[in-house]
Amino acid sequence: MADPVKSEVKTNGVHKTTNGHHTEEELKVAIIGQSNFAAEVLEVLLEREHIVVGVFTIADKGNREDILATTARQHGIPVFKFSAWRRKGVPIPEVLEQYRSVGANLNVLPFCSQFIPMEVIDGAAFGSICYHPSILPLHRGASAISWTLIEGDERAGFSIFWADDGLDTGPILLQKQCPVFGDDTLDTLYKRFLYPEGVTAMAEAVDMIAAGTAPKIPQTEIGASYDPALFREENQYINLNQPAVRIFNFIRGLDSVPGALAIVEMDDGIELPVRLFGASLSARRSMTNAKLIRFKGAVGPAFVTREGIFISGTDGTLVRVKRVKRGNRVIPAGQWFEQSDTKVTPLELSDKEREQDTTLRSIWKSILKVEIEPETDFFACGAGSMDVVRLVEEVKDTLEVPISNETLFMAPMYGEFLQEVILRLRTGGSDPGATIGCDYKHVVLKANRRQISVPTQMFINGRFVDAEGAKTIAIVNPTNEQVICEVAAASKTDVNDAVQAADDAFRGVWSSVSARERGQLMYKLADLMEQHKEELATIESIDSGAVYTLALKTHVGMSIDAWRYYAGWADKIEGTTIPVNPARPNHVLTFTKKEPIGVCALVTPWNYPLMMLSWKMAACIAAGNTVIIKPAQVCPLTALKFAELTVRAGFPAGVINVVTGTGSLAGQALADHPLVRKLGFTGSTPIGKRIMASCAESNIKKCSMELGGKSPLVIFADCDLEKAVRLGMSSVFFNKGENCIAAGRLFVEDRIHDEFVRKVIKGIKTMKIGDPLDRATAHGPQNHLAHFEKLQEYCTIGVKEGATLLYGGKRVPNMKGLFFEPTVFTDVEDHMYIAREESFGPIMIISKFHASDFEALVARANNTEYGLASGVFTKDIQKALLFAEKVEAGTVFVNTYNKTDVAAPFGGFKQSGFGKDLGKEALNEYLKTKCVTVEY
C-alpha cells in the first residue's frame, strides 16, 4: 500500500509536498459503498471540491438502485454496480478492469457491506480509508455498534482507518467519541453522533490526505476485541441468567435490527421464539395485576402487565420490554395474553406489491437513515413533524394512495404501515377504518326509515371489546319499554385497561401529534358527525327518548358545534411572559406554559348523552389530553356510535376510550384510579359529593362538577307576557324537563299570576305527546323507569304538603311507554319540598310575589343550595341588571331562557358545582400551568 505521508498530492491544481518528495499526481477519489451515509459523504466531498472519479455500489434491488448510485448520477459521476467483487475467493477480472478504468488513487469506503479484494484496496496509490463504528481496536467486526451497547461501554465512537488485509486492523487516521447515555439504542447513537459526525469526519480525513497531514497510527492489541457477528442467528439469543443491566444492554444492542431472541415456554409445552424490543431498567419491585410468563433459561420469574413484559435479572432487578415480535407480527408486550390466541396471517404480497414494499421501504430509509425492518418505529427513530409530512406526501405521490398523517399515527411501525398502505391500494384507496362496522358486536336499529348499526361493546385502545366475563346490562327504549340490546358492563379490570391504554397513548403517540394536527382530527370528526347526524339523532331518540327534531338541532347539532369550536382552539392555547423583578445584574426570563393534564375521565348523565360527552370531551382533547368516558348506564348508545366515528376520523388508539356500565362500579373505579388526573362529572349533587371525596382520597385529582339545580325564573308584570309564557314553558318542559338548567321554580308577580297560569295550561293542552321520532311530537317519554317513578313520588309529596296540582302529575293515560304528563303546581310555599328540591322532569312549580320588596324576592330566589342558572323577564333594565348582579347563579338569562352557546361558559355556584363547560374557560379545566424561570 502506498504511504501518503511520503507522497506529494496535487488537489484542485495545488501542489503539496511532504518529506521533501514531490509529484504532480492529482487526488482522484473512488467511493465504494452504499446507503444514505455514503451518499452524504459523496455530497460533502463534492462541496469541498474533491475530484470523485467513480462510485462503486451494490446491484439494484428490484427496480430501485441504492441512493449512492442515484446521487452520483445526479452529479454526472460514473456509477458501477456489482453484486460481488470476488468469485470463490478470487477477484472477478471484469470487475477489477472496471474499477481500474476510472484511474482512482484513493479509495473511500464510508459504508460498505461487500468484501473488497486486496487488489483494489492496495491498488490505489494513496491507499484506502474505511469508516468503522467503534473506537478501534475495541469491537472489531461487523456488529461493532451493537457490542458497544451490549458490553455497557460508557463511550461510543467511530474510527477512520487505513484498510489492510486484516479485520479492521489497519492503522488509525482519526477517531471521534461520544458518551453513551442510559436510554441510548442503536438508532439513537447512529442518529445523534455516528451518522452526522461520521459523514463530516470522512470528508475531514480526505482533506488531511490531500494536505499530506493524514497520520497512520498503528493499532495496539491492548484492549482489542473481535466480537461475534450478530447477523448470525445463533449469536442473537439472550442469556437471561445474568444481572438485569446485562439483559437490558443486550436487548438494546439489538433493538433496531434484528431484535434479541428469547424462547417462551408455552403452557402446552411448545417453545415459541420471540424477539424483544424497547427495553428499559425498571424501578418496580412489586408486580400487581400481573400474569406469569416463562422464558427458557431464565432463573427469575417474568411477568406480563399492561405496561409490558418484566424480566427478572439474577440481582432481582426487573427489565421492562415494550414490544415483542411473535412470528411475523410485532405487538405491544403488554398485550401478550390478549393476542396469544389471535392468528394473524401476514399479507401475501403479489409481485407488484413486493415492488411497492421496496419503494416504501426506501422512502422510510431516506427519511430515518436507518435500515428498515418490520418493527422499525417511525417515532422511536426520532422522526419529527416535518418527517411525518415528508413521508405522507412522498408515499401519496409515489404510490398514489390517499393516506394522511393519521395513517402513520395509527401504524407507526413499518410492518403495520406497509400493511395499511397495501390494504388501501387493494380497496381503491378507501380507509380500512371505514369497514370497522364488520369488526364489532352490534345491534341494528331499524327506525326513522334507516338501518343503523350501533356497537354494543366497550371501546378500549382503538378496539371494541367485551367486558370481563362477557357481562352485560340491558338497554331499554323508553318509548315502548322494550329492550333494545345488551351492552357491555365494565368491571374494575376493564376500567383499568382503558386507563392504561389512555396513559400509554398520552405518553406515546398522542404526544407526537401537534396541536394543529389535533385540531384537524377534531374538524374531521365533526364533519363525520355532520354526515351521520340523522343516525345519531335517531339513536338518541330511541335510547333516551329525546324528541327527534330537538335531538337533531340540540343534542347532535350543539355537539358538532362544540367539536368545531374547540378544534379552532387547539393551536391557540398559549402561556404568558411575566415581567418579574430580578436582582441585577442578572437577567431573568419568567414564562408560563399551558400543558395537558394527562389521562382524564368523564362521567356524563342521561339527559343529553352525546351533547354532554361533546361539551366535555372536545375541550379535553383540544387541550391535548387522552380520555375515558363512562356514559350513563341507561343510554350509552350514541357514545358507542361516536367511538366508531373517532376511528374513522383517524384518532390514534387509546386517545378516546368508552367504558359502559354502572356508575357505582365503572364510574367509581375511574374516580379511584391513581392514573386518572382529572375527572369531569355531570350529575346529581349527592353523587358529586361522593366523587369529590374519591378524587381527594385517591390522588387529589382535579375535578369539575356540574350538579343539581333549582334555577329560579322571575317574571315581572311589566314583561312581554306572551314571550314570558312561551319561554317560561320552554324553561320547564324543554327536553321533557330533563334539563340541568330547567327553571325549577317560577316566581310570577301577583298582578299577572292568574293570566300567566291560564295561558300555560292552554299551551300544555296543545302540546303533542307521543313517539319522539314523529316530527310533530313536542313531548317524548321520560328517560327510564326509575326516574319516571321518582316524578310520580315528587308529585305525591307536593300534593301532600298542600300545593295545588292544577294539571298533570301522572302517567299519560292510554299510552304505552314512560310518558309523564306536563305538570303545573301553584300555591307553592318556600318551605315545601317541591320548592326546594329538583324534579328533573316536566313539572312547573309556580309561586307568587309582590313587586314592592325587590330585596325579599332576590332572597327567595337565592334561598337554595343550588346555583346553576336563573332568569328574569322584565322591560325594566334596572331591575334586570340588579337581579343579574344579586342572584347567586352561574348563568343569568334576561328576557330569554335556555339560550346557550358553545362559546359561552357554563357552570354553577354553591352545590350546583364548580368549573366550566364551554367557552375558552373550559380549556382551563383540562390544562395545568407550569411556570419557568430562566437566568441568562
**What domains appear along the chain, each with residue ranges and CATH number?**
28-211 (3.40.50.170), 233-335 (3.10.25.10), 354-427 (1.10.1200.10), 442-706 (3.40.605.10), 712-907 (3.40.309.10)
455 and 442 Cβ atoms separated by less than 8 Å: yes
User: Any bridge partners for residue 835, and if so which?
Assistant: none
Given 442, 740, 821, 925, the catalytic residue = 740
779 is catalytic: no
> Is 683 annotated among the ligand-binding residues?
yes
Give the integer Cα–Cα distance in Å for 469 and 490. 9
> Positive or negative CA dihedral for 522, 524, 525, 527?
positive
Comparing CA positions, the residue from 570, 563, 565 lying closest to residue 649 is 563
Which pLDDT does position 81 carry in this prediction?
A: 95
> Is 403 annotated among the ligand-binding residues?
no
User: Any bridge partners for residue 16, and if so which?
Assistant: 9
> Is 559 annotated among the ligand-binding residues?
no
Q: In the chain, which stretches have pLDDT less than 70? A: 1-25, 62-64, 328-329, 339-346, 382, 384-386, 406, 410, 427-439, 583-584
Residue carrying C-alpha cell 431573568? 588
> Is 681 annotated among the ligand-binding residues?
no
> Is 236 annotated among the ligand-binding residues?
no
Give the integer Cα–Cα distance in Å for 892 and 869. 6
The letter for the amino acid at 919 is G
> pLDDT tens for residues 134-188?
999 999 998 999 999 999 999 999 999 999 988 799 999 999 999 999 999 888 8
**369 phi, psi to nearest 5 deg:** 60, 40
Give the integer Cα–Cα distance in Å for 376 and 37. 18
Q: How many residues does the chain have?
A: 936
Give the integer Cα–Cα distance in Å for 206 and 199. 11
3-state SS record for 689-725: HHHHHHHHHHHCCEEEEECCCCEEEEECCCCCHHHHH
37 and 74 Cβ atoms separated by less than 8 Å: no
Which pLDDT does position 917 carry in this prediction?
A: 97
> Is 116 annotated among the ligand-binding residues?
yes
Which triple of cell numbers denotes residue 914?
364548580
How far from the centroid of its chain's Cα atoms is residue 893's Cα? 39
> pLDDT tens for residues 656-707?
999 999 999 999 999 999 999 999 999 999 999 999 999 999 999 999 999 9
SS3 100: helix
- Annotate 126-162 with b (16+ C-beta within 10 A) or e (fewer): bbbbbbbbbbbbbbbbbbbbbbbbbeebeebbbbbbb
100: CB partners within 8 A, 6+ apart: 123
- Which residue blocks in 582-667 are alpha helix, DSSP H? 609-622, 637-649
> Is 630 annotated among the ligand-binding residues?
yes
User: Any bridge partners for residue 678, and if so which?
Assistant: 600, 702
DSSP state of 168: S
Give the integer Cα–Cα distance in Å for 679 and 677. 7
Residue carrying C-alpha cell 437490558? 248
Parallel/antiparallel/unpaired status of strands 472-477 and 843-849 = unpaired
> Positive or negative CA dihedral for 397, 403, 408, 411?
negative
**486 phi, psi to nearest 5 deg:** -110, 135
Which pLDDT does position 325 carry in this prediction?
A: 84
> Is 664 annotated among the ligand-binding residues?
yes
706 is catalytic: yes
* Dihedral angle of Cα 298, 304, 307, 311, to the nearest 10 degrees: -10
740 is catalytic: yes
> Is 114 annotated among the ligand-binding residues?
yes
Given 40, 112, 130, 132, the catalytic residue = 132
Given 706, 738, 749, 925, the catalytic residue = 706
> Is 20 annotated among the ligand-binding residues?
no
Which pLDDT does position 920 carry in this prediction?
A: 97
> Is 731 annotated among the ligand-binding residues?
no
**363 phi, psi to nearest 5 deg:** -65, -45
167 and 9 Cβ atoms separated by less than 8 Å: no
> Is 759 annotated among the ligand-binding residues?
no
> Is 168 annotated among the ligand-binding residues?
yes
Which pLDDT does position 383 carry in this prediction?
A: 74
> Is 839 annotated among the ligand-binding residues?
yes
867 and 910 Cβ atoms separated by less than 8 Å: yes
Which helix (DSSP H) or strand (DSSP E) does residue 273 occupy?
Answer: strand 271-282
Which triple of cell numbers denotes residue 315?
440481582
> Is 840 annotated among the ligand-binding residues?
yes
Which pLDDT does position 430 carry in this prediction?
A: 46
DSSP state string for 309-330: EEEE-TTS-EEEEEEEEETTEE
Q: Specify whether the backbone of 781 is left (phi greater than 0), alpha (psi in -120 to 50) or beta.
A: beta
47 burial level (CB within 10 Å; 0-12, 13-18, 19+): exposed
> Positive or negative CA dihedral for 693, 695, 697, 698?
positive
Which pLDDT does position 404 carry in this prediction?
A: 79
SS3 650: coil
What is the pTM (predicted TM-score) of this model?
Answer: 0.74
> Is 684 annotated among the ligand-binding residues?
yes
Which triple of cell numbers denotes residue 245?
443491566
DSSP state string for 789-845: HHHHHHHHHHHHTT-EEEE--SBPTT--SS-B--EEEES--TTSHHHHS---SSEEE
How close are the terminal C-alpha atoms of the chain, in Å? 55
Which pLDDT does position 375 carry in this prediction?
A: 81
SS3 91: strand
How far from the centroid of its chain's Cα atoms is residue 25's Cα? 61
